Structure 1
Amino acid sequence: MEPNRLFFALWPGEAVRASCNAAARQLNIRMPSGGYLSSPERYHVTLLFLGDHVPRDQEDAACRAAALVRAAPFTLTLDHAGSFRNREIPWWIAARSTPPGLTAFYAALRDAMLQARVSLERLRFVPHLTIARNAKIILPPTPIEPIDWAVDEFVLIRSRLDLRPVRYEVIGRWPLLAPEGGTATPIPAPPQLDLF
């Protein structure tokens, strides 16, 4: 089966990308990662990962379900940096606390995919934007100058594994629209990053 790696994501505009890139460079100056900084063109926050070999019927079902999602726009304030302790030691920036709007939107998107019987992988949601990969050192929880991101849309991305370097291709884009009768009702937040 041909590779067809798909994931839903929040896709920042140019101003947010520039601010994230500046934060990444400042962090790397203060504490050189020993790895490599991510390209700003690849910055995103993964929402749901559909898999590496998504059949066309599943891709089509995901697009139809995405068009039905209703959630209000929200602001995501990226104000902390850190790293995961896995093999590649990625550095990231994220919000210290997830806004209720993101929690409600994620739940609406996940539920829409499950109702449409779209197969999902990696259901654990840890919202972050990767700024460096293959670091040689762990980045401890570090405050950064807050970056306010007005989130008003989401996208479906195809990771082009056939290209070198791998590129992301936006294959679907949907606006965030509040449900009729007001904003989405926030639900309890999923597990958060341990930033302390």
Structure 2
Amino acid sequence: MDLLGGAVPEEAQIHRLFFALLPDEVARQRFARAAETLRRDQPIRARWVVPDRYHATLHFLGDFPLWRQDVVDAAKAAGDKVGPRRFEWTLDYLAGFRGRQPPCVLRGSETPPEMQALWRDLRQALILAGAGNHVGVGSFTPHVTLGYSHGTVPDIAQIEPILWRVEGYALIHSIVGERDYRVLGEWGSTGHS
């Protein structure tokens, strides 16, 4: 109860929806080793991502205070239209992005053309499915976030290349601040367990 005797409202949940590449167990373990290398070699204080949450975002569809079945339906229709895709992606360096809590990320020197095509085709399918206002207009910078630093952008560091055999992608739902992801749809084998 609040000071006036009324019920205290529960904290609002924020529903996050996005398309992502999910690593299989082999890639996940390699990403975890890269995170250990970063922690060892660069004195960065950070909030580290737990390995079962590693992913590469294809399209962020938004944060919503209420469940948006219309956005989910449009996203599933877009995934069905595009269908599964397979390709290989080599991640070969650690880097960071600027920001309030700069992410520490794994990147690849080259973006596979198949990945760029998936991003483009999925974007177009989302627009045609009526979710165009939930698709960003920016460019695609593929990466896997390993952690969020406390103000320090990590130096760029080459690592032993990690070959990720991407077998598909997924539509993901998460509640902001909670640990688990929920897979709402999969196209191909995503490595999700």
Asked if these proteins are the same fold (TM beyond 0.5), I'd say yes
CA contact under 8 A between 2:84 and 2:187: conserved in structure 1?
A: no
Distance 1:109 1:121 in 2: 10
**Secondary structure in 2 aligned to 1:68?**
helix
1:69 to 79, 82, 104: 82
Q: What is the RMSD computed on CA atoms of the aligned residues?
A: 1.8
Which entry has the higher C-alpha Rg, 1 or 2?
Answer: 2
Aligned length: 174
After TM superposition, the score normalised by the length of structure 1 is 0.82
Q: Which residue of 1 aligns with 2:38?
A: 27
Q: Which residue of 2 aligns with 1:191?
A: none
After TM superposition, the score normalised by the length of structure 2 is 0.83
Q: List structure 1 runs of 4+ shifted beyond 4 angstroms.
A: none
Where is the helix percentage greater, Structure 1 or Structure 2?
2
Q: Which residue of 2 aligns with 1:153?
A: 168
Question: Is 1:128–2:143 an aligned residue pair?
Answer: yes
Question: Is 1:36–2:53 an aligned residue pair?
Answer: no
Q: Which residue of 1 aligns with 2:9?
A: none
| Paired residue type of 1:31 | Q
1:155-186 per-position Cα deviation (integer Å, ceiling 9, x unaligned): 0111123xx5432111111128xxxxxxxxxx
| Paired residue type of 1:25 | E
Distance 2:70 2:117 in 1: 27
Gaps of 5+ in 1: 177-196
CA contact under 8 A between 2:17 and 2:171: conserved in structure 1?
A: yes
Distance 1:121 1:4 in 2: 16
CA contact under 8 A between 2:18 and 2:57: conserved in structure 1?
A: yes
**Secondary structure in 2 aligned to 1:62?**
helix
Q: Which residue of 2 aligns with 1:103?
A: 116
CA contact under 8 A between 1:83 and 1:91: conserved in structure 2?
A: yes
CA contact under 8 A between 2:74 and 2:129: conserved in structure 1?
A: yes
Q: Percent same amino acid at aligned positions? A: 36
CA contact under 8 A between 2:47 and 2:148: conserved in structure 1?
A: yes
- Quick one: structure 1 residues 121 and 70, their matched pair in 2 at CA, closer, same or farther if it must change by over 3 Å? closer
| Paired residue type of 2:145 | T
Q: Which residue of 1 aligns with 2:183?
A: 170
Distance 2:155 2:13 in 1: 39
Distance 1:141 1:57 in 2: 41
Quick check: 104-113 or 115-124, which moved more?
115-124
Quick check: 11-20 or 45-54, which moved more?
45-54
Gaps of 5+ in 2: 1-11
CA contact under 8 A between 1:19 and 1:147: conserved in structure 2?
A: yes
